[in-house]
Chains A and B, each alone.
Chain A
Amino acid sequence: MRLPIYLDYHATTPVDPKVFQVMAPYFTEIFGNAASRSHEFGWVSEAAVENAREQISKLIGAIDKEMIFTSGATESDNLAILGAAEMYKDKGNHIVTSSIEHKAVLDACHFLQSAKGFEVSFVPTDIYGQVHPEEIAKAITNKTILVSIMFANNEIGTINPIAEIGKICKERGVLFHTDAVQAIGKVPIDVQSMGIDLLSLSAHKIYGPKGVGALYIRRKNPRVRLSPMIFGGGHERGVRSGTLNVAGIVGFGKACEIVQKIMPQESIKLKQLRDKLWNGIKNGLDEVYLNGHPVDRLPNNLNISFAYIEGEALMMGMKEIAVSSGSACTSASLEPSYVLKNIGVGEDLVHTSIRFSVGRFTTDEEIDYTITKVIETAKKLRELSPLYEMAKEGINLKTIDWTAH
């Protein structure tokens, strides 16, 4: 077993060697601009792009003409929301989203609020981070043009009832966008049966390269139109100008093809590893709490609060294991996780949270090592924790008059 151990597959994934292999020639030999219609170099690149478009579309039950390429899911989310807002602003100026969306969605909505006179409803979730379809139904008004709800959350892995939300949007004649970045390749997605009109994807979360994403834009029932955000040569049917990243797109296509084939077995394997990690930690430590939904959850996600231990300190004690934390100390903004806060995890517990995410190359051995290391580090830090000591003495920490800084 090699150290360090990577358990941060929600952040990004390595490019699968099989993916890299098919990408390689497109950097050197097959370098044509996919928009060069006048010669062989361009045709070959264009064919490769169209092949990838089909591979990606298949994975979500779409047709190739409905898929456009972007620089990543942040751009896809921005384009879906800002592009729809601009296109349909005469129809209405209201958007419905949730309080725990990715920042690419939330900040695009905040921009529409502050700069474009839009109103945005941020519907709350339950304590597991799940959006209830009736909350969406309640929030939709005759001014609503778009609902944007993530398929699965990137921090806590909670999966939303997307088909039910899609159904409500259809009934109310409102467009439905979902950020499916974390869900793709882990759970089956079908834009038809789920009533999805716009869907954001990213290559680097499914063992493809960074810097490539896609946006599914429904063509029929209804035909969705978006105003472009990037102007230029009119690529991607005028919705997203800019020379296509052919090598990246080829890799993205291959990554989708692979994951579509192996998803049934892979998701079972991921779940086994994840459950093993959770059971191991739970059996070795008291007062550890699962954040997110116990059942409707991505198979590879584990988000735990280790009561009385600050997240960054825990990570510092197990540097050879790559994970993320919701603690303020680990974020550039010095703000603790808004996702955990908004689903109602107490602020004291937010600071103690760690996100583990397993992936394609995680081994049983790595999980065994991690369990041992986590328990050992947590025990050491609890010996150091005045809160753990007070709790063990039976003091209710909520009754103490803390001198907050």
Chain B
Amino acid sequence: MSYKQKVLDHYENPRNVGSMDKNALNVGTGLVGAPECGDVMKLQVEIDELTGTIKDAKFKTFGCGSAIASSSLVTEWIKGKSLEEAMSIRNTQIVQELSLPPIKIHCSVLAEDAIKLAIRDYLNKKSKNSHLNKEDSKI
């Protein structure tokens, strides 16, 4: 598929659109970008706590076709991956897969950042929670 077709395909049939409960302990949310800059991505991951892998991923994106395609693509990529694997995804891989032109590279950077933020959000929640649990057990 050529560049246009891949981006178009994701734009026309975006994968994994939706939202998860951002308060759930096994869900991490990453929100990146700014309305003033013309793109905002929200990416969410649901973690299988037994295996430590990403069970499900959802996104919503405000932005151009390339931004929508970048976020749609990474939700496909990260499903089933371990947190480390997902964290290691680089924007250059997205650029390559979608053949993004130079002016659209920032879309891929946003998608990479969204994955990282979502996973970090989950890890933060988890450490806070285990901290709380320890506090509880002291009493």
Binding site for B on A (CB under 8 A): 308-310, 312-313, 316-317, 327-329, 334, 336, 346-348, 351, 383-389, 397, 400, 402-405
Contacts A/B (CB < 8 Å), 25 sampled? A310-B38, A313-B11, A313-B64, A316-B8, A316-B11, A316-B64, A328-B37, A329-B38, A334-B103, A336-B38, A348-B35, A348-B36, A383-B17, A384-B14, A384-B60, A386-B41, A386-B60, A386-B61, A386-B62, A387-B40, A389-B42, A402-B34, A403-B32, A404-B36, A405-B110
Contacts A403-B32, A403-B33 given; indicate if A310 touches B63 (C-beta within 8 A): yes
Output the least CB separation between A319 and chain B (Å).
9
Most chain B beta-carbon contacts within 10 A, residue among A309, A316, A336, A347: A316
> How many Å lie between the Cα of A334 and that of B40 in the bound state?
16
Interchain nearest-CB distance for B124 vs A (Å):
16
Further contacts, 19 of them, CB under 8 A, given A327-B64, A386-B40, A405-B37: A309-B62, A310-B38, A313-B65, A313-B67, A327-B38, A328-B37, A351-B36, A384-B68, A385-B60, A386-B42, A388-B62, A389-B42, A397-B35, A402-B34, A402-B35, A402-B40, A403-B32, A404-B36, A405-B110
Contact among B17, B37, B42, B62 with A308 in the assembled complex (CB-CB below 8 Å): B62
Q: A384-B68, A387-B40, A405-B110 are in contact. Are A313 and B60 (CB under 8 A)?
A: no
Q: Are the CB atoms of A310 and B34 closer together than 8 Å?
A: no
Whether B37 lies near A404 (C-beta < 8 A) is yes
Which positions 1-17 of chain B face chain A at CB distance < 8 Å? Answer: 8, 11, 14, 17
Residues of A within 8 A of B109 (CB): 405
CB distance from B15 to the nearest CB of A (A): 11
Bound Cα distance from A97 to B17, whole angstroms: 48
Contact of A402 among B36, B61, B68 (CB under 8 A): B36
Give residues 39-78 of B contacting A (CB, 8 Å): 39-42, 60-65, 67-68
Chain B residues near A328: list those with CB within 8 A: 37-38
Give bound CA distance, A309 to B32, whole Å.
16
A403 with B64, Cβ < 8 A, contacts A383-B17, A384-B14 known: no
Q: Hey, which chain B residues are within 8 Å of A316, CB to CB?
A: 8, 11, 64-65
Residues of B within 8 A of A317 (CB): 11
B81 interface contact, C-beta 8 A: no
Q: How far is the CB of B106 from chain A (nearest CB, A)?
A: 6
Q: How far is the CB of B123 from chain A (nearest CB, A)?
A: 18
Query: Which of A308, A347, A386, A388 sits near B36, CB closer than 8 Å?
Result: A347
Q: In the complex, are the beta carbons of A405 and B40 less than 8 A apart? A: no
Name B107's closest neighbour in chain A (CB-CB).
A329
Q: Which residue of A lies closest to B34 (CB)?
A: A402
Closest 8 CB pairs of A and B: A402-B34, A348-B35, A386-B42, A351-B38, A386-B60, A347-B36, A312-B64, A329-B64
B14 touches A310 (CB 8 A): no
- B58 CB → nearest A CB, Å: 11
Q: A384-B17, A385-B60 are in contact. Are A405 and B34 (CB under 8 A)?
A: yes
In the bound complex, CA of A387 to CA of B17 (Å): 14
Asked if B31 and A386 sit within 8 Å, CB to CB, the answer is: yes
Chain A residues with Cβ below 8 Å from B39 are 310
CB neighbours of B17 from chain A (8 A): 383-384
Asked whether A403 and B34 contact (CB < 8 A) given A316-B11, A334-B103, the answer is yes
Q: Mark B108-131, 1 if CB is under 8 A from A, else 0.
A: 011001000000000000000000
Closest chain A residue to B7, Cβ basis: A316
Residues on the B chain within 8 Å of A404, using CB: 33-34, 36-37
Q: In the assembly, what is the distance between CA of A403 and CA of B32, in Å?
A: 6
In the assembled complex, which residues on chain B have CB atoms less than 8 Å from the CB atom of A405?
32-34, 37, 106, 109-110
Measured between beta carbons, the chain A residues less than 8 angstroms from B110 are 405
B92, CB-defined interface residue at 8 Å: no
Expressed in whole angstroms, the minimum distance between the Cβ of A79 and any Cβ of chain B is 34
Is residue B19 contacting chain A, with contact meaning CB distance below 8 A?
yes
List of B residues within 8 angstroms of A348 by Cβ: 35-36
A309 to B61, CA, bound (A): 9
* Distance of A402 Cα from B114 Cα, bound (Å): 13
- Alpha-carbon distance A387/B34, docked complex (angstroms): 10
